[in-house]
């Protein structure tokens, strides 16, 4: 579609030159590229719209008059232009576009939409980054969905992506669950209790909180344990290793269930001291300064921030210290053009500071640091608060959605059509969840309503999956009675319905849309595109038969539309992590 837009801008530009009182003035004020081209509000008006307002002054004529004059001067085999008030609307020659678009979709299959907009770019993407003292919750699920989706978007655009996860496996909060286990654990294990291992660890974190409520000494003991850990006390290290393994293994099972994966894991216990040297070097260069208590600071008031501490007086690291260190380590590990962090928006300030400090330190890659912050995930009942126990556990949520899907399949009596009901239900649950989590611009706070997400009606993942299953069903039916249509031949002149044309135009826009979604790191562009396509087809399908036509050529031609849409959906589903089902 972009191709035709460009072509027609040139045609309009040339025509304007012909009717201009002063051709040179036109060339001075406009270029073919700068001529605004839009999409008419009503498809019946045409496919490309050129508003004439900008030319009124220069031409000393009303926009409508200019549009009228251009009508006869813009002749092209690719379509025809018509004046409509102050607009010049172009209606494209459809068969040529159908042929071109479908041809490209069939050639690329479920990779359709791939484009070279970020070819060769090496992007490291950090996301998830959980603590090892409790299981994953709904907030992580949004983080993971965004991270995975950003990765596939960038890959579709030709970038090389390395997905990394920084495990927060040290600190006083980790010691709290360890301490509770020492106190109440009695050598129980996830196996002995039959509990998923990260939940097992999390239960002790909760136990600690309960204990600390009554015993003011609990926090002191936790700090003591952290000291022992930092001193390398063998017994403490052994316990830490054991519980950490439980936590991480549990998290990995959740990642598997949700289709999340990483190319590399970083562990905070390995990196938390990194950065200290870097800060000290910066201090030598005079970028930072020391206060009386020996702590190291940076003055960011010129950048609109405050004075920030980079290193504690006792020489130990802080969050920033560590992030500076890991960035430097990573740039050596895997030299990147860009490093993107996916985190909640409460960390916006932190990353601004981090990026500025790295720039001050003079790293060439510091200019290409990106932060993808996302808004909070709330519940219909309100905010998630760990203190009030209203945090939604990731595994529980997935189980709940899966159970709902099973129930729905049973209610529709679809078990007979589905080979593996529980596998299908899991895919529907995953589709529901990922779609909902990605359907909003990342920076927005969202209200996650499980019931709404799993609904098979409306703007949801399951609705899209259902649309895909229907397409597959049509193709299966076709295979069964193939011989009836043998005498037909594909002829795009037969696609006369407006829905058919609208769908083809959508397909044509998809690669550019993928490029934009990747540039903006905004998956919601993809979700709304897919919903729009599915909706259009549902409307079309209701009124028009595909297989039930007397003319076999019409059947075969419409089947091309069905196949093309199915590929486009498959491609889009892959990007947003919604499983495609041939039957559900």
* Residues in 189-228 at the binding interface with RNA, rule: CB under 7 A: none
Q: In this structure, how many other beta carbons lie within 10 angstroms of the beta carbon of residue 479?
A: 8
CA 151 – CA 162 distance, rounded (Å): 8
Piece in contact with RNA (CB under 7 A), picked from 196-204, 244-252, 257-265, 453-461? 453-461
Cα 196 to Cα 134, 135, 190, 251, distances in angstroms: 11, 9, 6, 10
Piece in contact with RNA (CB under 7 A), picked from 9-17, 116-124, 545-553, 572-580? 545-553
How many amino acids of this chain bind RNA (CB under 7 A)?
91
Out of 41, 120, 216, 286, the only residue in the binding site for RNA (CB under 7 A) is 41
Interaction with RNA in 463-522: which residues (CB under 7 A)?
463, 466, 469-470, 472-474, 477, 516
Lay out the site mask for RNA across 43-82 (x = CB under 7 A, - = otherwise). --xx--x-x-xx----------------------------
Enumerate the H helices of 187-275 as residue ranges.
190-193, 197-214, 218-230, 234-258, 268-271
DSSP 512: H
CA 440 – CA 452 distance, rounded (Å): 14
Phi and psi angles of residue 452, each rounded to the nearest 5 degrees, phi first: -70, -40
| Residue for token pair 């359709």 | 112
106 counts as binding RNA under rule CB under 7 A: no
Interaction with RNA in 120-159: which residues (CB under 7 A)?
131
Out of 223, 227, 291, 484, the only residue in the binding site for RNA (CB under 7 A) is 291
Interaction with RNA in 342-371: which residues (CB under 7 A)?
345-350
Q: State the minimum distance, in angstroms, from the CB of residue 305 to RNA.
A: 8
Q: In this structure, how many other beta carbons lie within 10 angstroms of the beta carbon of residue 572?
A: 26
CA 349 – CA 13 distance, rounded (Å): 47
Out of 13, 19, 29, 40, the only residue in the binding site for RNA (CB under 7 A) is 40
Q: State the minimum distance, in angstroms, from the CB of residue 337 to RNA.
A: 24
Nearer to RNA, 82 or 360 (CB): 82
416 counts as binding RNA under rule CB under 7 A: no
DSSP states along 546-573: SS--S-HHHHHHHHHHHHHHHHHHHHHH
CA 405 – CA 391 distance, rounded (Å): 22
Nearer to RNA, 38 or 249 (CB): 38
Tell me how far apart the terminal alpha carbons of the chain are, to the nearest angstrom. 34
32 counts as binding RNA under rule CB under 7 A: no
| Residue for token pair 């960011």 | 300
Q: Of 392, 125, 398, which is closest to residue 258 (Cα–Cα)?
A: 398
Out of 100, 233, 452, 497, the only residue in the binding site for RNA (CB under 7 A) is 452
Contact 337, 366 (CB under 8 A): no
Enumerate the H helices of 285-393 as residue ranges.
319-333, 348-360
Out of 195, 392, 525, 574, the only residue in the binding site for RNA (CB under 7 A) is 525
382 counts as binding RNA under rule CB under 7 A: no
Nearer to RNA, 314 or 381 (CB): 314
Secondary structure class of 461 (helix, strand, coil): helix
Q: State the minimum distance, in angstroms, from the CB of residue 165 to RNA.
A: 14
7 counts as binding RNA under rule CB under 7 A: no
Q: State the minimum distance, in angstroms, from the CB of residue 11 to RNA.
A: 16
Piece in contact with RNA (CB under 7 A), picked from 84-92, 138-146, 188-196, 486-494? 84-92
Q: Which residues is 48 bridged to in the sheet?
A: 90
Q: State the minimum distance, in angstroms, from the CB of residue 117 to RNA.
A: 15
Nearer to RNA, 402 or 472 (CB): 472
């Amino acid at each position: 579609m972009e191709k035709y837009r460009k072509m027609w801008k040139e045609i309009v530009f040339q025509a304007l030159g012909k009717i201009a009182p002063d051709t040179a003035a036109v060339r001075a004020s406009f270029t073919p590229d700068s001529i605004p081209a839009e999409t008419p509000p009503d498809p019946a008006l045409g496919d490309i719209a050129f508003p004439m307002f900008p030319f009124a002054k220069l031409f000393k004529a009303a926009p409508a008059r200019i549009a009228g004059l251009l009508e006869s001067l813009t002749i092209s085999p690719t379509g025809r232009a018509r004046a409509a008030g102050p607009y010049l609307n172009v209606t494209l020659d459809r068969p040529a576009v159908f042929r071109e678009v479908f041809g490209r979709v069939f050639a690329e299959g479920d990779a359709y939409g791939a484009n070279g907009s970020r070819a060769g770019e090496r992007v490291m993407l950090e996301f998830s980054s959980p603590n090892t003292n409790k299981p994953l919750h709904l907030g992580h699920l949004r983080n993971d969905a965004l991270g995975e989706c950003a990765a596939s978007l960038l890959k579709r655009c030709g970038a090389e992506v390395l997905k990394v996860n920084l495990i927060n496996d040290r600190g006083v909060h980790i010691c709290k669950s360890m301490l509770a286990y020492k106190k109440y654990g009695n050598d129980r294990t996830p196996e002995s209790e039959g509990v998923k291992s990260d939940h097992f660890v999390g239960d002790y974190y909760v136990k600690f909180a309960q204990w600390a409520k009554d015993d003011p000494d609990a926090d002191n003991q936790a700090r003591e344990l952290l000291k022992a850990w930092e001193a390398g006390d063998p017994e403490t290290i052994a316990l830490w290793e054991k519980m950490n393994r439980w936590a991480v293994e549990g998290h990995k099972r959740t990642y598997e269930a949700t289709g999340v994966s990483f190319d590399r894991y970083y562990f905070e216990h390995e990196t938390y001291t990194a950065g200290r040297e870097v800060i000290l070097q910066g201090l030598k260069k005079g970028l930072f300064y020391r206060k009386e208590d020996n702590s190291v600071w940076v003055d960011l008031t010129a950048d609109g921030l405050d004075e920030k501490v980079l290193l504690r007086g006792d020489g130990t690291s802080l969050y920033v210290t560590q992030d500076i260190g890991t960035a430097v380590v990573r740039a050596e590990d895997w030299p990147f053009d860009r490093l993107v962090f996916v985190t909640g928006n409460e960390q916006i300030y932190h990353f601004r500071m981090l990026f500025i400090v790295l720039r001050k330190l003079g790293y060439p890659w510091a200019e290409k640091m990106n932060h993808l912050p996302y808004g909070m995930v709330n519940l219909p009942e309100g905010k998630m608060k760990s203190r009030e126990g209203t945090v939604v556990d990731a595994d529980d949520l997935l189980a709940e959605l899966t159970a709902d899907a099973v129930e729905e399949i049973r209610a529709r009596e679809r078990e007979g059509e589905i080979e593996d009901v529980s596998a299908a239900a899991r895919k529907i649950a995953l589709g529901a969840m990922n779609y909902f989590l990605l359907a909003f611009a990342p920076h927005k706070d969202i209200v996650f309503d499980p019931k709404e997400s799993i609904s098979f009606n409306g703007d949801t993942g399951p609705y899209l999956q259902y649309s895909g299953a229907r397409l597959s069903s049509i193709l299966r039916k076709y295979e069964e009675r193939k011989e009836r249509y043998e005498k037909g031949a594909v002829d795009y002149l037969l696609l006369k319905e407006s829905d058919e044309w609208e769908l083809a135009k959508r397909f044509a826009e998809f690669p550019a849309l993928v490029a934009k979604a990747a540039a903006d790191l905004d998956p919601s562009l993809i979700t709304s595109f897919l919903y729009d396509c599915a909706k259009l087809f549902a409307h079309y399908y209701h009124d028009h038969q595909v297989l039930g036509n007397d003319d076999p050529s019409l059947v075969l031609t419409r089947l091309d539309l069905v196949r093309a849409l199915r590929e486009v959906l498959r491609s889009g589903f892959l990007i947003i992590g919604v499983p495609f089902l041939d039957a559900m």
